[in-house]
Amino acid sequence: RGLLVDGAAYEAESVLLATGGMSYPATGSTGDGYGIARRAGHTIVPPEPSLVPLVIREKQCRDMMGLSLRNVTLSLYDGKTCLFQELGEMLFTHFGVSGPLVLSASCHIPQMEPDRYTLGIDLKPGLTPEQLDLRLQRDFQLFQNRTLFNALSKLLPKGMIPAAIQLSGMDGNIRVNQITKAQRLAFGAFLKAFPLTVQGFRPISEAIITRGGVSVKEVSPKTMESKLLPGLFFAGELLDVDAYTGGFNLQIAFATGYAAGCSM
C-alpha cells in the first residue's frame, strides 16, 4: 500500500484523497484527484459547475448590470414544470444573472441545454395579481398625463424600467391614460413573471462548488473508505456530493474528513 509519485514509492497503510473539485482553480483545486481515483478503479460522475451564475439570452440583462433585486421570488422552469421557486435576492450582470437565488436555482438544472430552461421573476411577490392591478391603477391615476416610461418610478427600480417595457412589449411612449384595461392587466401579469431564457452556466472556474466526482456508490458512507481498494479513503468535494449555499458544503467537507480521519 502507498503512493507512487514521479517514480518514487511511498509506503502507507492508508491514503486519503481530498484534492477538491474543479471550482476555484486559483486555490489549487484543478481536478487532479479525478484522474487518480479513476486509475484506482473508481467511477467518476462527470464534473459540472453548481452554485453558479447563469448566462441569459435577453440582452436587457447587460443594460441592468449591477442592479440588485431584493424580496423577489425566482422560479426556474423546464417547459411548464417548475423545478425551483424561492424568495430572496438576485443580481443582474453583463452576462445574465447571479446572486443567492440564482446560485440555488442552478443546482436544479440536471443537464444544461440552451433555451430549454427559463426563469420567471415575481417582482411583487407580496401582492396578488388583483392587488398589483389596483396599485397600477393608482399610479396611472397619479401620473395620468405621463408616458408609461415616466409613470413607473414608484413601482420599479429606475434601471429596470426600460427593460421591463421592452420585454413586456408595451410602448414606453404611450400615455398611461390611454392604456386599456387589457394592456394594464397584461403588464401586471408580466411583472409577476418577468421572463428570462437560460443559455448556459458560467465557467466551472466561477462556480462555488463542483457537482459530480467519485461515485458515492463505491465509497463506504460510514468510513469514507473505498469499496474497491481497501486503504484508500476520500473526503470533501472530490466526492459526488453537493448542496445549497449556507455552509452545507463546508459541513460535507468537515463530516467526510472527520469520518475518514477516524477510520484510517
Q: What is the pLDDT of residue 250?
A: 93
Is the pLDDT reported for residue 1 higher than 80?
no
Domain boundary among 162, 179, 201: 201
Read off the pLDDT of each residue in 137-163 and give the average, rounded to a whole number: 95
What confidence tier does 197 reach under pLDDT thresholds 50, 70, 90?
very high
Q: What is the span of the domain harbouring residue 188?
A: 53-201
C-alpha cell at position 25: 482553480
Q: Are strands 96-98 and 117-122 parallel, antiparallel or unpaired?
A: unpaired
- What CATH number should be reported for the domain holding residue 212? 3.50.50.60
Check whether residue 79 and residue 190 sit in a common domain. Answer: yes
CA–CA distance, 65 with 237 (Å, rounded to integer): 32
User: What's the angle, vertex CA 79, arms to CA 78 and CA 84, rounded to 5?
Assistant: 35
Is the pLDDT reported for residue 253 higher than 80?
yes
- Provide the residue type at 189 as one letter: A
Domain boundary among 186, 201, 216: 201
CA–CA distance, 42 with 34 (Å, rounded to integer): 9
Is the pLDDT reported for residue 10 higher than 90?
no
What confidence tier does 30 reach under pLDDT thresholds 50, 70, 90?
confident
Check whether residue 14 and residue 119 sit in a common domain. Answer: no
Is the pLDDT reported for residue 90 higher than 90?
yes
Q: Report the percentage of the chain scoring pLDDT > 90.
A: 88
Q: What is the pLDDT of residue 166?
A: 96
Check whether residue 43 and residue 73 sit in a common domain. Answer: no
Q: Which of 3, 104, 106, 100 has the alpha carbon at shortest distance from 56? A: 106
Check whether residue 63 and residue 99 sit in a common domain. Answer: yes
Number of domains in the chain: 2
What confidence tier does 108 reach under pLDDT thresholds 50, 70, 90?
very high
